[in-house]
Structure 1
């Protein structure tokens, strides 16, 4: 059991490092990710490398071509914005339903996770904040008590995970995110579906200066940038 856990964590760590390398442009679009070279770089066997590449393929960052290997996919900024728009509406739906259906123990858990976000921010630990932030959103998906909606939200969250992590690196974004979390918790706790939905939608959408900051943060990865109307 311990060996399995260590193996799983190693694959997760490799995935996170490779995600970051891809998004920040260390591995530009079209780059072939050679398993042998990566195994040498990380001093591991090819098995966890292969597993990490499969996960990255599922997240849409890598394309695995039969008999040719894994290649970094190109994701344009327009495509990313479209994905965030869909994510915003999915999360809004989750928030609306959660405000109506959340159970006492689920609300207590959501508030506890929010406190974990507060602590991570106070400690100046962006990685801990990212993990707590992910748990915060997943708790809302669960509290919607709509398993299909939860499944779809989780799938898209996984596709956008690395970009949401990058968003949190933008100066002052964690402070803003934490404040928005507070508004979301208040709306759900008050049982106000529309307010909860709108708070989550605005929390996810990239707009105004946040859009410009986001574009700058992924400029090393995307090929073309176009403005939102």
Structure 2
């Protein structure tokens, strides 16, 4: 079973949930999904298990996978924790990065620049994901990196949706530039502050996300 097939299915189902094509409380039938996407039930089952792991669906006895709506307050709480974890990762990365880490971070930043310049928000999302993972790795804290990756994955659909808000990709890329500068300058406190602000969705950004969710 191809990992790419599972990822594509997961993203398609995820998008369906976020766009309300699959409404909260709806049952996600494996056979129907397999037919809809032209695949066997095996990758569908794996995709649903991954969505269960991040809390977008719940696999229930005798009902199978059911769509879960975490609600705006829960999403806000997750972003709040993510901002703190990212800030810590950035701070440690500024203190601990190696030459190899520098190369990886700069390469990921260059990929983000290409997708931003192409105006492709979905491609930018995946390049952005690699950029953040490069910072986690540069923290040289295995446990912290694990927690960051796990929560990042839970927030993936909302982070992707947020990038579709007007001008957010441009703002995100500009913020990346300042983050890279702080980390490579060894400024741990500045890196922490910038990453916390980058991930936090206080005020207008949270209102924009909630409005976008409601419209979908």
Tell me the TM-score normalised to structure 2 length: 0.97
Q: What residue in structure 1 maps to residue 70 of structure 2?
A: 75
Q: What residue in structure 2 maps to residue 227 of structure 1?
A: none
Greater RCO, CA 8 A, separation 6+: 1
Residue of 131, 139, 142 corresponding to 2:137: 142
Deviation at residue 208 of structure 1 after TM alignment = 2.3
Mean Cα displacement is larger for which, 65-74 or 81-90? 65-74
Q: What residue in structure 1 maps to residue 38 of structure 2?
A: 43
Deviation at residue 102 of structure 1 after TM alignment = 0.4
Please tell me whether residue 162 in structure 1 is matched to residue 188 in structure 2.
no
Give unmatched runs, 5+ long, in structure 1.
Answer: 222-229
How many angstroms apart in 2 are the aligned matches of 1:220 and 1:65?
Answer: 28
Runs of 4+ in structure 1 displaced over 2 angstroms? none
Residue of 48, 73, 85 corresponding to 1:90: 85
Mean Cα displacement is larger for which, 54-63 or 204-213? 204-213
Report the RMSD for the aligned CA atoms in angstroms: 1.0
Could you give the per-residue CA deviations for residues 118-137 of structure 1, whole angstroms, max 9, x where no partner exists?
11111111122111100000
How many angstroms apart in 1 are the aligned matches of 2:131 and 2:12?
Answer: 23
Residue of 15, 20, 28 corresponding to 1:20: 15
Give unmatched runs, 5+ long, in structure 2.
Answer: none
Please tell me whether residue 101 in structure 1 is matched to residue 134 in structure 2.
no
**Where does 1:1-229 land on structure 2 (aligned, <5 Å)?**
4=1, 7-219=2-214
CA contact (8 A) 1:23 1:220 kept: no
Deviation at residue 67 of structure 1 after TM alignment = 2.3
Task: Give the match's secondary structure for 2:24.
Answer: coil
Tell me the TM-score normalised to structure 1 length: 0.92
Deviation at residue 112 of structure 1 after TM alignment = 1.3
Could you give the per-residue CA deviations for residues 97-148 of structure 1, whole angstroms, max 9, x where no partner exists?
0000000121121011111111111111112211110000000001000111
